[in-house]
Homo-oligomer: A and B are copies of this chain.
């Protein structure tokens, strides 16, 4: 309930400029309190003053507007085989961006070293320094304990188990670091589309980001959405790389499809689908059905308004989506499916960096956080 400078900032984030009098009226705060907080926000450049004439024709009152260039955000999407880094403003609009083929299995120091080097290049390119950075958001392709930022037994990330990503990166970049599962971050990137949504990423592996009531649901250990290792009854004979039998990922993930088709990876599977290979199309469609079987139960349990399919395999046309829809609409309860939308991600390969930026912005601009920063 306590008011903070951050509370004023939350009001101004809608883009409209307001005078001290208007802010006092909106909040019920004392004029002296408003004045102190405006000064603190001006000091730190969170807001900028605009001269506006009053309707009464008197002395112009100063209005204050949110300054979306007050800080720079760094957003990194580190996938199993490729990586992307972007700089954004406080609205999440991209200022500069770079991507590269980079294997996560090179280990944390090599991959984070690339991230750091690229970040410095992008800062220089856009005329900024580390001092302008308010935070770095990082998505990793495996389970992450969000509070500590540690990857925990990540099956596709040899060498990363327990590596202190936030400390390592913060010490070198000079800005706070937030880390989460790549799919949680992609879900955040789509979170304005619905109150309750699932973002399902089908790449080499399979994972899911969960938005409940407009907020990311991470679960008790940050492990929520790990649907790739749900056991599929029809696959009890297949060994998963996690060491268990019958995981969804072991039969329906891009890695499994690549192995079945005798090609190197998920991108080659997508290439075959685009080239019209009947075998590849059938496999992707069946992958959709297997994923749909797991999601059909989750739809009954979670009742989302929207399921967004992303990742390389979702970009292989409508085949994956068709399989998913076929099974969910046949198996889930009518009440849960009557208005359920299932579609491909419109953000495509931008979903990760978009969401990583949202994660940092929501954290940095949370009323309590701003209070800590600007109290003088």
- Measured between beta carbons, the chain B residues less than 8 angstroms from A195 are 220
**A50 smallest CB distance to B (angstroms):** 21
Q: Are A219 and B196 CB-contacts (below 8 A) given A1-B27, A336-B226? A: yes
- Decide if A303 is an interface residue (CB 8 Å cutoff): yes
Q: Which residue of B lies closest to A29 (CB)?
A: B28
**A163 smallest CB distance to B (angstroms):** 16
Q: A336 contacts B297, CB within 8 Å?
A: no
Q: Are A301 and B304 CB-contacts (below 8 A) given A219-B196, A223-B333, A226-B333? A: no
- Decide if A340 is an interface residue (CB 8 Å cutoff): yes
Binding stretch for chain B, among A56-64, A77-85, A171-179, A206-214: A206-214
A226 in complex: contacting residue of B30, B31, B225, B301, CB < 8 Å: B301
Chain A 173-209 per-residue mask, 1 if CB under 8 angstroms from chain B, else 0: 0000000000000000000001110000000000010
- Decide if A229 is an interface residue (CB 8 Å cutoff): yes
Q: A336 contacts B223, CB within 8 Å?
A: yes
A95 to B196, CA, bound (A): 37
Copies of this chain in the oligomer? 2
Chain A 322-346 per-residue mask, 1 if CB under 8 angstroms from chain B, else 0: 0000000001011110111000000
Q: Are A143 and B335 CB-contacts (below 8 A) given A217-B213, A220-B195? A: yes
Q: B301 contacts A301, CB within 8 Å?
A: yes
Interface size bucket, A side? 35 or more
Binding stretch for chain B, among A3-11, A68-76, A128-136, A273-281: A3-11
- Decide if A267 is an interface residue (CB 8 Å cutoff): no
A220 in complex: contacting residue of B29, B152, B196, B297, CB < 8 Å: B196
Q: A301 contacts B303, CB within 8 Å?
A: no
Q: B338 contacts A221, CB within 8 Å?
A: yes
**A26 smallest CB distance to B (angstroms):** 6
- Measured between beta carbons, the chain B residues less than 8 angstroms from A118 are none
- Decide if A124 is an interface residue (CB 8 Å cutoff): no
Apart from A3-B28, A212-B213, A225-B303: 6 A-B pairs, beta carbons within 8 A: A2-B26, A196-B224, A217-B217, A221-B303, A226-B333, A226-B336
